[in-house]
Amino acid sequence: MIKKFIHQFASPKTYLFQVERAYKLILYFSIAVYIGSLIWGLLFTQEDFVQGNSYRIIYLHVPASFLSQSLYMSMAVASFVYLVWRVKLAAYLVISIAPIGAMTTFIALTSGSIWGIPTWGTWWQWDARITSTLILFIMYLGLISLHSSFSNYERADKLLSWLVIVGAINIPIIKKSVDWWSTLHQPASITLTNKPAIDPSMLYPLLGSIIGFFGIIISLVIISSKYQILLREKNKSWIKEYV
Amino acid sequence: MKLLSLELLKLKKKTRSWLGPILVFWLIMIAYPLTIEVSSESMEIGFFSVLWISILLSMMFATEDIFTEDYNDGSLEQTLINETSFAYQVGAKVLIHWLLIGIPISILSFIFSLGTTGDMVLSFLILPFAIMSSYIFLNLFVLGNALSLNKGSVLGAIITLPLTLPILIVLGKSITAIQLDINYLGFIFLLLGSLSIIIVSVPLIVSYIIRAHLE
């Protein structure tokens, strides 16, 4: 039954009709959650003892950094699914995620730089975390340029999937860079195994902003994948029914 | 063995393909002292950064047309249907490129390091790093060239360079460790581990990529 469901949902047609109902709901709800968390974090939490008000950029920086890596991992999973089971939808998702991943990585880098000026006294430092995130950003751009250089979509999908899988090696490097090297960038404040090293008054709006940002990005991925499906399946008879 | 000698013969005939990258490396290393004030102290400051980047660039040039000729004359398709595993053939191609280009460049690295720092021990320690990094870079650029086959080497370089940056970071850190006389063996093992994974995985991935191109 699960297999049947996956097969059905993996069809671009079913996916397109299913997400049509869901994505607007996700988008509006996520925007509300994100704005609510921002208001809570910016206006109703206290100043940080050391960093003053500058720490409040975490409500943008942390969700963007988290998503930049998560999106790449989801691309790697989708690439694997495409290469092994030849699920077309997975290939569409890979190329749909790439520009959004580049955008979130850019936001993470920019917001990190802005945060760096008051806290570190510099907007850029070639330390392991920042450099590996910059590598991730260049990787995203490389993936987009590789895909766009082929007119044969099927070939482009296959090559892109291989590169995404190979490039996934960068994700554990980014994640562990703060532990493996002595970096200016602080270690993770929220982990699954340890108690958060952040005050609850700051933690809850942060979690809210991560959830809200996550939802917004998911909605953008759905919109982007809808465009990919319409582009690739334009000659199918069911497209007229959809449009 | 027959495959290796065949690849060696093919590469030896294309003098520009193996001599060119070595000359590029040589020229960059000669150009370096010309751009700074010639005193041994100032020379040593940026020397190793220039060295690693020169190795990286030389390896990039070395793989520029590694598959192009075979792709254009159709022999790549014939190789695919050959009895010998295509991944094995890719591995042999990379090995021969490394023997003819990577090893001479590593030896030159030792000579330039000795000439610049005058430190025999340090220069000897550079050798394993140069040998391993050249092989790693070569494999990664082969991957990039396979991905961007018939689309030009610039695209290959753009998509592969980010993958080489962690190796450059490790190389930079290893030099600092050697100079500060702290444990540098960890970096050698790290590179060795990466190399052993890359040697096995890259030819396999490249063979799938080229299949995707020719399908």
Q: Which residue of A has its CA nearest to B207?
A: A162
* Mutation for B interface: A162, A165, A181, most B CBs within 10 A: A162
Cα dist. B61→A231, B155, B166 in Å? 37, 13, 20
Query: What is the spatial distance between Cα A90 and Cα A75, in angstroms, rounded to a whole number?
Result: 9
If one compares A13 and A60, the residue with the highest pLDDT of the two is: A60
Q: Does A236 touch chain B (CB under 8 A)?
A: no
In a domain, A196, yes or no: yes
pLDDT at B38 over 70: no
Instruction: Report the residue from A135, A136, A159 with minimal CB separation from B147.
Output: A159
Residue B69 reports pLDDT greater than 90 = no
Measured CA angle at A94 (ends A93, A97), to 5 deg: 80
Asked if A149's CB is within 8 angstroms of B163's CB, the reply is no
By the CB < 8 Å criterion, does A79 face chain B? Answer: no
Of residues A188 and B122, more confidence is placed in B122
Region B34-39: mean pLDDT is 75
Query: Searching chain B, which residue's CA lies closest to the CA of residue A167?
Result: B163
Note the pLDDT tens digit of each residue in B82-129.
777 889 989 999 999 999 999 999 999 999 999 988 889 999 999 999
- Interatomic CA distance for residues A167 and A76, integer angstroms: 9
Can you give the pLDDT at residue B159? 84
Quick check: A2 pLDDT over 70? no
Q: How far apart are CA B33 and CA A176, in angstroms?
A: 37
Distance CA A76, CA A136 (A): 13
Q: For the segment A11-44, what is each residue's pLDDT rounded down to a tens digit? A: 888 888 888 878 899 999 999 999 999 999 999 9
Residue of B nearest to A181 (CA): B173
Listed residue (B120, B117, B123) closest to B39, CA to CA: B117
Structural domain that includes position A184: 17-242
Q: In the prediction, which pLDDT does A1 show? A: 67
- All structural domains of chain B with their residue ranges: 2-214
Contact flag A128-B169 (C-beta cutoff 8 Å): yes
Residues A208, A37 contacting (CB under 8 angstroms):
yes
How many A-B residue pairs are in contact by the CB < 8 A criterion?
59
Q: Which of B151, B159, B213 sits opposite A163 (nearest CB)?
A: B159
Question: For chain A, how many structural domains are there in total?
Answer: 1
A197 Cβ under 8 Å from any chain B Cβ: no
Least Cα distance to B173 among B206, B133, B116 occurs for B133
Q: Which of B158, B168, B169 to mutate to test the interface with A (most CBs of A within 10 A)?
A: B169
Nearest residue to A224 (alpha-carbon basis) of A19, A74, A34, A14: A19
On chain A, the residues whose CB falls within 8 A of the CB of B198 are: none
Average pLDDT for chain A: 89
Determine contact: A80 vs chain B, CB below 8 A.
Answer: no
Complex-level ipTM: 0.77
